Amino acid sequence: MIHNPILRGFNPDPSVIRIGTDFYAAVSTFEWWPGVRIYHSRDLAHWRFHSSPLDRVSMLDLTGVPDGGGVWAPDISYDGRRVYLVYTNVRARGAMFQTDNYVVTTDDIDSGVWSEPVYLNSLGFDPSMFHDTDGRSWLLSLDNHYAEGKRFNGLYVQQYDTERRCLTGELRLIYREPHGELVEGSHIYHVGDTYYLLKAQGGTGPRHSAQLSRSRSLFGPYEDCPFILLHSRDNKSLPLTCAGHADIVDTPAGELYMLHLAKRYSSPGKCIFGRESCIQRVERTPDGWLRLADGGENPYVEVKEPQGVEACEFPPEPTCFDFTKCASIPDCFQSLRVPLDDMASFSERGLCLCGADGLQSLFSQSLLARRIDEANVTVSTTLTFEPDCEKHLAGLIVIYNTSYWYYAYVTRSEGGEKCVSLLGCDGGRLLYPSALVPISEDVPVTLTAEINGDTLQFSYCDGGNVRPLGGALDTEMFSSVPGGFTGTMAGICCQDLYRRTKCAYFEKFDYTVRT
């Protein structure tokens, strides 16, 4: 059986393709750099990180994007020759979204070589590319015009010339949702003489869903399916909630599977992981619609593996790192908005992070973090840091975005003592869960964060006994972030709010899941 979620931790908005016997899924990364994470599988049950294609600033500039902005809902597609990745860079949220849409391509997804981006349009977010059976390709866009209170103003298609690498011809309206629901994350499929339109509807919260429409023509009119393909709307006790935003892939044997996002509770009523990617089996009904193969409309935690596909487990990905022996940043880490080319380096002393902006900055932070994907985990780091003043800080952070975090850090007091302390931020309001605690000079410091579903407890060790840093903190802050689209991350960072020259050396980073 396949056990959901298949991509655990913050991995939302899956889009999936099959090339031969290999499956590739792309997920959103929002303000985290590099942009888009692609995962690879050979059996739909076991997945491993494959690549982050948007790894050049010329492809993706996240400087200054708002929390929850950046890369929304990438779409990966394959026309039999070339792989296309369509993505949005959301540079402003609110009444006037700034949604710039691009496409990059590769002739070999395993090569890691992607083209420079082609600007497509700024017509809404979540665009996708559809390659029709006649050889033509089309860009599917939504209009999220907010004038007069509208949140969704229709789905549009325009032909994409794959040789000239540009949109061409007329922009045509093909669908308007008749019940006033927000529509996003849409994909088109051409099967036989029917075009199917798969849409995410109802917003990305408890009323999220995946719904289907169909037409004899690409340009409509589209008939809505009489039932919902997938949702979690009718049962608050479901282990997978907020199910929706889906994409469909076939197996070599012709079975159909649907990847979708959902949320999983880290403790009763709380979800600190963010939205994750899951999978369901789907099948055609006698009257030509699609439904869940196991019945009903709610997501299943256990899903039958595809027929005729040999199980292929990958070696476990490392979670603990000795940075004194590393030469590059491990794949599980991402930085916040900017690449750390000028702020990170490796030596026999470990990973050197040069101090940059403060933790509420949308521009140039020196911060690396990985996803928290289980409810009971211990995260720790050992660092050598000799601050000169209170404007020098370095340490261990648990963060959702620039407005929601807890930070255990080493600094120097106004009186000149080297200290460790704890700082928090709840919706932009600073919290002070711990006073400054003096520690030893010229000694590596180990900082630890222990998450137990409901609570988060920091501790420190400066060569002696392990001591708690502040009291137990409620993880609710990471579960109910207003407008939050990402998930909780844990990592390391360094700030120099004086001259941007003070560096910290991180010897190790350990992430351990406790049973």
Report the alpha-carbon distance of residue 484 to residue 402 in Å, rounded: 11
Report the alpha-carbon distance of residue 494 to residue 492 in Å, rounded: 7
- Asked whether the beta carbons of 411 and 435 are under 8 A apart, the reply is no
**Which residues, given as ranges, of the chain have pLDDT below 50?**
none
| Cis bond before residue 226 (omega within 30° of 0) | no
Closest alpha carbon to 131 in 89, 104, 161: 161
Per-residue pLDDT at 273 = 97
Residues forming a β-bridge with 226: none
Report the alpha-carbon distance of residue 457 to residue 472 in Å, rounded: 5
Per-residue pLDDT at 149 = 61
Please name the helix (run of DSSP H) or strand (run of DSSP E) that holds residue 477, with its range, or none. helix 476-479
Dihedral angle computed from the Cα positions of residues 501, 507, 513 and 515, in that order, rounded to the nearest 10 degrees: -140
For every residue of 242-297, which 3-state class applies, written as one string?
Answer: EEEEEEEEECCCCCEEEEEEEEECCECCECCCCEEEEEEEEEECCCCCEEECCCCC
Domain coordinates in residue numbering, the chain: 2-303, 320-513
Indicate if 13 belongs to the active site: yes
Set 13, 67, 126, 247: catalytic member: 13
Per-residue pLDDT at 178 = 84
Q: Which residues of 73-95 are buried (b: 16+ CB within 10 A; e: fewer)?
A: bbbbbebeebbbbbbbbbbebee
Per-residue pLDDT at 181 = 85
Indicate if 184 belongs to the active site: yes
- Asked whether the beta carbons of 139 and 165 are under 8 A apart, the reply is no
Assign a CATH topology to domain 320-513.
Answer: Jelly Rolls (2.60.120)
Per-residue pLDDT at 236 = 86
- Asked whether the beta carbons of 12 and 276 are under 8 A apart, the reply is yes
Residue written as tokens 């099959």? 18
Q: Write the pLDDT tens digit of every residue in 41-86.
A: 999 999 999 999 999 999 999 999 999 999 999 999 999 999 999 9
Q: Nearest 5 degrees, angle CA 492-CA 493-CA 496?
A: 160
Please name the helix (run of DSSP H) or strand (run of DSSP E) that holds residue 476, with its range, or none. helix 476-479
Per-residue pLDDT at 253 = 95
Cβ contacts of residue 237 below 8 Å, gap of 6+? none
Q: 0.95 exceeded by the pTM?
A: yes
Q: Nearest 5 degrees, angle CA 332-CA 334-CA 338?
A: 160
Closest alpha carbon to 345 in 330, 329, 368, 333: 329
Set 75, 126, 184, 454: catalytic member: 184
Which numeric CATH code is attached to 2-303?
2.115.10.20
